[in-house]
Amino acid sequence: MSEPLRIALAGLGTVGGGVIRLIEANASLIARRAGRPIQITAISARNRSKDRGVDLSGYAWEDDMVILGERPDVDVVVELVGGADGPALALARTTFEAGKALVTANKAMIAHHGLELSAKAEAAKVAFKFEAAVAGGIPVIKGLKEGAAANEIKRVYGILNGTCNYILSTMEDTGRDFADVLAEAQAKGYAESDPTFDIDGIDAAHKLSILSAIAFGTAVDFKGVTATGIRRVLAADIAQADALGYYIRLIGMAEPEVDAQGNHRLFQRVHPHLVHRDHPLAHVDGATNAVVAEGNFVGRLLFQGAGAGDGPTASAVVADLIDIARGDIGAPFSIPAAELTQAAPAESGHRTGKAYLRFTVADRPGTLAEIAAAMRDAGVSIESLIQKGRVEVNGEERVLVALVTHEGPESGIAEALRLLEGSPSLAEPPLVMPLLEE
């Protein structure tokens, strides 16, 4: 058997510990599939003395993780520290400059610096792999880069954040409100003590920008993603969606477009949707992730599975290491970095579909007429309108009014909301959620 692939591991948290356990437990199987053994030679983390439940005595320790990229006994660096910048980015740059391959689960770093790092890897003729950065253990990146490589991908979308999906599906099952379920998710370890990146859609936006680059051959453009999270979703919205035949899910969606002047643009949005119960994403529950890709020949592909956790994410990391051991380099985003196209962000106004709108209003005569008039003046046709439920806003009781529009352009809804802006009848800005049909 060939010489072992020697790796250095930066970051010994949940995933880092999982990588060590997986490599140790499946060493023989991995060696047979990779064509040579995979061995850890050096490690680094913030706290050397912390008990991580694995034996680290056989590995060289570096207090400064950036040095891992320069060690002569290392072929591949595995970065599991996280963060868009700082030590993780410094380590990635040092690794490529030293002519070594990099495997990472760091979606933030890829979303912000993926183009630069891809160019560095290609210049050094080394691998840059990040299967674990999107959807944990689901091989969606490999599926797009290899299984669907012959297809023109028309659209890619899915449930990209397990924390949000756990919260929404638990609200669905229990009838409890967002804040209560979030607190429970934090207590169980499904949500961070500061859940902002998850519940405001930022984590999903990082992942969506990476998927877009791979699916459409465009430069990674995280700044071009419009992200709206789930903070404002109420139990009443969940119940109303159910009555209409839908479930609420946070969906990241990307689609290339050509505008009227022939310019290529890219639509990227993370937003809560009402998903029709016959759609495959509607029944994705708990902390599960799922991604749908639509190819011009293969049709609809669904990738579903565990989106986080030590086992699934470690599995994706080690799968990348096996590919490197086999000699697979390839362009990190399927197409060489210099050939990735620059696509300006696409506006959403011309996009057509149905939408759910929920208004929190004062209980007084004329409020419904005011909403209906704004919809009429903006050219928005109402399919159904329901006045149901009361909530307390700033110590005052308010009424919930929900409506579903007929299919039409999003610009019409935006205009209707503009007409209602500043109305004393509205206690807070309306919540808008597109409908995702079957």
Active-site residue set: 207
DSSP code of 255? E
**Distance between CA atoms of residues 37 and 30, nearest Å:** 7
Judged by phi (left if over 0) then psi (alpha if -120 to 50, else beta), residue 317 lies in alpha
**Distance between CA atoms of residues 172 and 283, nearest Å:** 11
What is the Cα 14 distance to its own chain's centre?
19
DSSP code of 426? B
DSSP code of 385? E
DSSP code of 30? H
**Distance between CA atoms of residues 286 and 303, nearest Å:** 16
**Distance between CA atoms of residues 20 and 328, nearest Å:** 22
388's enclosing H/E stretch is strand 382-393
Report yes or no: 178 and 234 within 8 Å, Cβ to Cβ: yes
DSSP 60-95: EE-SSGGGGGG-TT-SEEEE----SSHHHHHHHHHH
CB atoms within 10 A of CB 438: 10
**Distance between CA atoms of residues 184 and 166, nearest Å:** 10
CB atoms within 10 A of CB 339: 11
Q: By CB neighbour count within 10 A (0-12 exposed, 13-18 middle, 19+ buried), where does 149 fall?
A: exposed
Structure tokens at 274: 């009402």
